[in-house]
Structure 1
Amino acid sequence: MALFNASRLLGKTVMITGASSGIGAATAVLFAKAGTNILLLARREDALNSVQQACVDAHKASGLKEGGTFAHVQLDISDRAAVAALWSKVPSSFRDIDILVNNAGYVIGRDQVGDIDESIVDGMFATNVLGLIAMTQLVLRDFKKKQSGHIINIGSIASREAYVGGSIYCATKYAVNAFTVSMMKELVNTPIRVTEIQPGMVETEFSLVRFNGDAKAAKDVYTGLQPLTGEDIAEEIVWAASRPPHVNIADMLIYPVNQAAATIAYRTSS
């Protein structure tokens, strides 16, 4: 049985933020295999070039004739002026977006309230919340005009459950959840779909960023269990996008099998 019904995605145009690595990059490659056109957005130009080539290779290997055009734009979604000017940098053939995947986001540190640097607070809210909102508003205006489209926001278990040392990150993801649910309710009288994907423990560059590049500290988070991968979450994103037009996956919480909550996981001793 196929993972998803690719015929529902053929020729659609997908825009993905935070597409230079991790979940974003894996999602781009899987959409490419499904015959979509993809606009990749992220801050790192060199990494975007690599992901775009991976998309080209994936589409070629699929043997599909539809889709298969790819472009990228260097963008920091926390820069409101850059988001507002995005269409001026996008090739005209990529301006009719069908699916927006709001994946860009990050966390730094595990400091507790009272010890958190304000620049870290500002940075996380600027990207995880304000940037996501700006990207959504930019695309949703067009979705409303054409009465179609799908917005997929990447939340987290932190969208549902706050934990010690994660106050700011959790606050940003709670905000994403509230924004997503409110938007879905506002759009209930339209064919526009809204989805929130909420991963548990996923091993990507995300943890390296959290621990300021300390590879050992990042790896220790997953010691004794098998975490999710970016590819695991990509499968769920593309599956949600490939449902029939009348089906909306409102939210999806995804754990590795040995995780049961934000701070509850079974680890082997080896």
Structure 2
Amino acid sequence: MFERIKGKTIFITGASSGIGKSIAIVFAEYGANVVISARRMAKLTEVEAQIKQTSPSIKVHKVAMDVSCEESVKSGFESLPSWAEDIDILVNNAGVSPGVELIKDLSSENMDTMLNTNIKSVIFVTQQVLPRMLERDTGMIINIGSIVSTTPRPTAGMYSATKFALSAITQTLRMETNDTNISVVEIKPGIIETEFNIVRNFGNRAASKKFYDAAPSIPPSDVAEAVLFAASRDPRCIVSEITVVPRGQAHPLFVQPKSSKNE
């Protein structure tokens, strides 16, 4: 069934690390050509090298792009090679959650960062891809959300709000394209061990490690496999939503501590 993505072109935001990087690698392994975008070109070069090592025949294009800036997004898409002009699968993966802050302490800077990166970017990037999909009457848009899109969590109120908004955007896109052959999917991860939590702790790796030492988590490759599954369905079938959590996380606020499993 995964052969259905062979020869397809996939565009991934936030592809320099974590979930986005894992998605690029697994899709390349199954024969998809990949466009990887992020702000850090050096990291994208590393991802490209890793893909070429395991999948040498795959086409890879790197785009240094700040998805929170509309002009940067437009410029990035203008730089695409001819083979990537028609995107078959768009994965809106880029997202951030800077800080562990109560609402009363939330800074306007962090609010703007999350609004721009987690919400506006999805619109900016989708607007560059969706018109061509509509012209061809085919394509798939996969938005990486979060399980906190239905249940907010203390100290992550603004991040939760942006993921609530992303779900609204995803559902709206699904309705607006319902009379076409375009599929719209939302993937909702739980606790995933990535650089995301380092950013959330303002670069404090020790605090991030302490969190992962205490709570169950899964690697980003598990999420990438869920994305691959959704993208490789028969055209008659749409897997519209997938929740991916580690064993021990029954709910955003109900997590079995690692230590209790060993007692």
Q: Is the aligned partner of 1:98 residue 2:88? A: yes
Gap regions ≥5 residues in structure 2: none
- SS of 2:104's partner is coil
Q: Residue 191 of structure 1 contacts residue 246 of structure 1 at CA under 8 Å; is this kept in 2?
A: no
Q: Residue 200 of structure 1 contacts residue 256 of structure 1 at CA under 8 Å; is this kept in 2?
A: yes
Structure 1 residue identity aligned to 2:93 = N
Distance 2:105 2:116 in 1: 19
Structure 2 counterpart of 1:110, from 91, 94, 100? 100
Distance 1:117 1:7 in 2: 47
Q: How has the CA–CA distance of structure 1 residues 86 and 268 changed in structure 2, closer, same or farther, with 3 Å as cutoff?
A: closer
Distance 1:7 1:14 in 2: 14
Q: Is the aligned partner of 1:54 residue 2:50? A: yes
- SS of 2:115's partner is helix
Structure 2 residue identity aligned to 1:59 = S
Q: Is the aligned partner of 1:265 residue 2:255? A: yes
Deviation at 1:160, TM superposition (A): 1.3
Q: Residue 6 of structure 1 contacts residue 35 of structure 1 at CA under 8 Å; is this kept in 2?
A: no
RMSD: 1.2
Deviation at 1:88, TM superposition (A): 2.0
Distance 1:75 1:172 in 2: 21
TM-score normalized by structure 1? 0.93
Structure 2 counterpart of 1:86, from 64, 76, 80? 76
TM-score normalized by structure 2? 0.96
Distance 2:12 2:77 in 1: 14
Aligned to 2:191: 201
Gap regions ≥5 residues in structure 1: 61-66
How many positions carry a matched residue from both structures? 260
Deviation at 1:225, TM superposition (A): 4.3
Distance 2:85 2:24 in 1: 17
Q: Residue 91 of structure 2 contacts residue 141 of structure 2 at CA under 8 Å; is this kept in 1?
A: yes
Structure 2 counterpart of 1:29, from 25, 29, 37? 25
How far does the alpha carbon of each residue in 1:155-200 deviate from its partner, in whole angstroms, 9 at most, with x for none?
0011111011111100110000000011101111111000000000
Aligned to 2:8: 12
Aligned to 1:138: 128
Structure 2 residue identity aligned to 1:205 = E
- SS of 1:47's partner is helix
Match runs of 1:161-176 below 5 Å: 161-176=151-166
Deviation at 1:82, TM superposition (A): 1.2
Structure 2 residue identity aligned to 1:207 = N
